[in-house]
Structure 1
Amino acid sequence: MRRQTTTLQIQKAMKSNFLHLIKAEVYNKSTRKTEEIPNGKFLESFDYLCESGFFADCIGWHYDNNLHANGYIIECGRYNPHSENIITAYLEVADSATEEEIEKMLLFEESGE
């Protein structure tokens, strides 16, 4: 089941070394073509987005367990009809991390404000 998360929550899980990037890709909805994003470029762009401040949480990220590997899949753009691209990243779980710790870090919960 796909769950919502935020850019900052994903970054926190990666910076805490609970999750490690395996690969990232961009899928164009119009052309139906997928291109791999170099890991360094993805991480640099992701960090830049996080540093942008309040824009960091304007992107709708979703995550789910990767049933084919010991990890997670994060995506943005799939559920946005106005987005032309879907960004997908495959993350591996560190040996020292538990699923409960990762879920606690990633799961987006609306504040009562």
Structure 2
Amino acid sequence: MTGTVKSVIETYNKRGARERNFDSLNNDFGWKHLPCSFLNENTVYMILTAFCMNFFSYFIRAVSSVFTSLSPTSRVKKFVFHFTAVCAKWTRTARSWWLNLYTGMPYDKLSFG
């Protein structure tokens, strides 16, 4: 041990943060069971899903500022159950189609601009 106690703790905290990222990639983005038998194809798959994870992180931060049931660190399963699994029905009113959402969630307050 060549560092101070504080530097050792910070190093292990960084390691724990990276392990949480790999846990999310394994369980939420399919790294646990890779789709191909060849390394090149799996490498492309892993890079694309890492990009998807970054996009999901941005998207969940934007959505969690409006929806109180989601936190910025929510996983994909919680996001699906709280945000996308909503009863809806397309209705035609006044010669136009409207999407009726049967929920009390504030979907109309979302903006990404």
TM-score (norm 2): 0.25
> Which protein is richer in helix relative to its size?
2
Q: Which of the pair has the greater relative contact order for Cα pairs under 8 Å at 6+ separation?
A: 1
- Counting strand residues as a fraction of each chain, which structure ranks higher? 1
Question: Which of these two proteins has the greater Rg computed from alpha carbons?
Answer: 2
